Structures are given as structure tokens and as C-alpha cells.
């Protein structure tokens, strides 16, 4: 949400082109559904990955569809605070993008000079 807050869909670059054009695509917000097997699989995969990283044993049936849905239902009980856009974060993101854009411009100028 912060990206869309910082760069709304109609934002244009300094050159006048739309900011959200290929290869960049605007993020789409999803609402977590513990009954959706895709969402459940993601939660299960991340849980197994974290367990592996920290050498925590996990059940052998953790990759079964039933266990994934069970884990997703447990995850849905976690309360996440509501998103509040941050103007400070938006300014930070914009300045970071400006810095990267200047670096790319310098590289392109160097290439032209070499030719």
C-alpha cells in the first residue's frame, strides 16, 4: 500500500512517461483467505522455510493440503495493525528512486562518451 500511496497509478516520471508501465507493474492488494489453498500453501512454505533456517523440526505432514489449511487458519488469527501511509516513508522512497535514476543517467552518459 505504501508504494501505491507514494506512486499512485497516474504518476509520471520526469520524462513524462507513466511510472507504472512495463517492466514495472503496480502491486495488487490481496486479502488473506485461510480457505484458499494458494494462500495456505504460501503460509506453509514460509513456515517450513523459517523452521529449516533456524533448525526447528516441523511435522512430516506439513506439506499435506489438510495441514496447510490448518496452519493457514491458525495464521489468520494473528491480528495485523491497519496500514497507515507515511509521508516520511514516501519522501524516503522518492529520494532513493531519484538517486538510482541519477546513477543510471551517469552510466548512460559514460557509455555515450565511450562510443
Q: Report the pLDDT value the prediction gives residue 75, as an integer from 0 to 100.
A: 95
Q: Where are the alpha helices (DSSP H) in the chain?
A: 2-6, 37-53, 65-75, 87-114
Task: For the chain, state the CA radius of gyration.
Answer: 21
Cα–Cα distance for residue pair 55/48, rounded to 1 Å: 10
User: Torsion angle of alpha carbons 25, 100, 18, 115, nearest 10°?
Assistant: -110
pTM of the model: 0.62
User: Torsion angle of alpha carbons 34, 28, 85, 5, nearest 10°?
Assistant: -170
pLDDT digits (tens, 9 = 90+) for 45-78: 999 999 999 999 998 898 899 999 999 999 999 9
Q: Regarding predicted confidence, which is higher, 41 or 5?
A: 41
Amino acid at each position: 500500500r505504501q508504494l501505491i500511496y507514494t506512486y499512485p497509478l497516474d504518476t509520471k516520471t520526469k520524462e513524462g512517461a507513466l511510472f507504472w508501465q512495463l517492466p514495472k507493474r503496480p502491486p495488487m492488494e490481496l486479502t488473506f483467505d485461510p480457505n484458499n489453498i494458494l494462500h495456505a500453501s504460501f503460509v506453509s512454505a514460509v513456515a517450513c522455510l523459517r523452521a529449516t533456517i533456524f533448525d526447528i523440526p516441523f511435522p512430516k505432514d506439513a506439506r499435506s493440503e489438510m495441514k496447510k489449511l490448518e496452519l493457514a487458519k491458525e495464521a489468520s488469527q494473528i491480528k495485523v495493525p491497519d496500514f497507515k501511509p507515511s509521508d516520511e516513508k514516501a519522501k524516503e522512497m522518492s529520494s532513493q528512486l531519484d538517486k538510482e535514476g541519477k546513477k543510471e543517467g551517469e552510466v548512460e552518459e559514460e557509455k555515450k562518451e565511450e562510443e
